[in-house]
Chain A
Amino acid sequence: MRIRSLTVIAALATVALPALATADALDDAIKARQGYYQVVSHNAGMLFGMAKGEVAYDAAAATAHAKNLEALAVMNTASMWPAGSDNLSKAGKTRALPVIWETYPAILDKQKAFETASAALVANAGTGLDGLRANIGALGASCKGCHDTYRAKEF
């Protein structure tokens, strides 16, 4: 009797563990990409702060933030987007809409827009406040362009 129940527990554990591991992997992926966007937001926020005059303009810092954004834009983040990590499967944890996966690779156009906008900032953000201001709008538009289509308004 005792041995049998142990066997059952062992059998259940064998079946359940991979499932748990998968759930963990999905949560980890969600956490990773949210961290990624935190870093994007930090760098973009510093540039927006300078453009608005809330932070003193510093050409070297502006270029550094722009380069960070460009590096982030070209980063391969595929492993952060496993199937099943959308906001229906993982309610309350993510705002990533299922349409990301349903229409893939359409979302890569948005990433391309991010890359283009950050490349323009690498070239111009350090040339002066005017250069930054002339190019920051496109960066924000690339954020919003993706959010409007692929991100839920609320958790």
Chain B
Amino acid sequence: MSDAPPPTEKRKVWDVPTRLFHWALVGTVLTGLYLGEYRGFSTIQLHFYFGYATGGLLVFRVLWGLFGPAPARLGRLFPSPRALIGYLRHLFDRRPSAVAGHNPVGALSVLAMLAALSVQVVTGLCAEDDGLFSQGPLAEYLDAATVLKMTALHHTSSRVVMALIVLHLAAILFYRLWKHENLVTAMVTGWKTVRRDDGDGPA
């Protein structure tokens, strides 16, 4: 605790496509969850469209993770055990992480979110609703037992997505209140206060 905080600087960390992706995903996922939770005969088609949009965003995110700038790269979502342990050791320090991108724990939560949303989209394409006589576009190619399994999975994984959203918000609050680090502003403006010795170049 006695060591001086490392020198920091303001840097552009999140590029425009990554930020647009993030906030568009907030919109499609929350709307999709709402429309799914309170689905009705007249709105289920809308639920499908928001699901397709979510799927499109996920595909974009994977491509951007391959070709985009360093902080958005997919490799950054798989922290080494060493980096993870090193970060966890200081997780509860009352100072900003000042990481130029995803910190190792945040990376895992993003990975979990992307995985859960992928499951949500794929199972949704194969699911059916027996009260609305609606089914995802791939359901007709599957046998009945598989469609039932996909439907059950779709409902279960929606709860996983909700839990991850709550965790996401809780983590943001924790960083804001405990670590005095504002992650939301960084995701809005792209600018983040980061350690000068954090190797990533600007976006």
| A residues at B contact (CB < 8 Å) | 44-45, 48-49, 51-52, 133, 136-137, 140-141, 143-145, 147, 153-155
Contacts and interface: CB of A to CB of B under 8 A. Distances in A.
Given A48-B133, A143-B131, A147-B131, A155 B148 contact: yes
Contacts of B149: 154
B131 A144 contact: yes
Contacts, number: 38
A45 B133 contact: yes
Contact of A133 (B42, B132, B134, B148): B42
A110 to B, nearest CB: 12
Interface of B: 40-42, 45, 129-134, 145, 148-149, 151-152
A52 B135 CA distance: 13
B41 A51 contact: yes
A136 B145 contact: no
A44 B130 CA distance: 11
Contacts of A133: 41-42
21 contacts: A44-B133, A48-B134, A49-B133, A133-B41, A133-B42, A136-B41, A137-B40, A137-B41, A140-B41, A140-B131, A143-B131, A144-B129, A144-B130, A144-B131, A144-B132, A145-B131, A147-B131, A153-B148, A153-B152, A154-B148, A155-B148
Contacts of A155: 145, 148
A16 B42 CA distance: 54
A51 B152 CA distance: 26
Nearest to A48: B133
Which of B133, B134, B145 has the most C-beta atoms of chain A within 10 angstroms of its own C-beta?
B133
Nearest to A45: B133
A154 B131 CA distance: 16
A154 B127 CA distance: 12
B136 to A, nearest CB: 15
A49 to B, nearest CB: 8
Contacts of B40: 137
Contacts of A147: 130-131
A71 to B, nearest CB: 19
A143 B128 CA distance: 13
Nearest to B44: A52
B151 A153 contact: yes
Given A48-B132, A140-B131, A141-B131, 9 more contacts: A45-B133, A48-B133, A52-B45, A143-B131, A144-B131, A144-B132, A147-B130, A153-B152, A154-B152
A154 B152 CA distance: 8
Contacts of B133: 44-45, 48-49, 140
Closest 6 CB pairs of A and B: A144-B131, A48-B133, A140-B131, A137-B41, A153-B152, A154-B148
Which of B42, B130, B151 has the most C-beta atoms of chain A within 10 angstroms of its own C-beta?
B130
A155 B144 CA distance: 10
Contacts of A44: 133
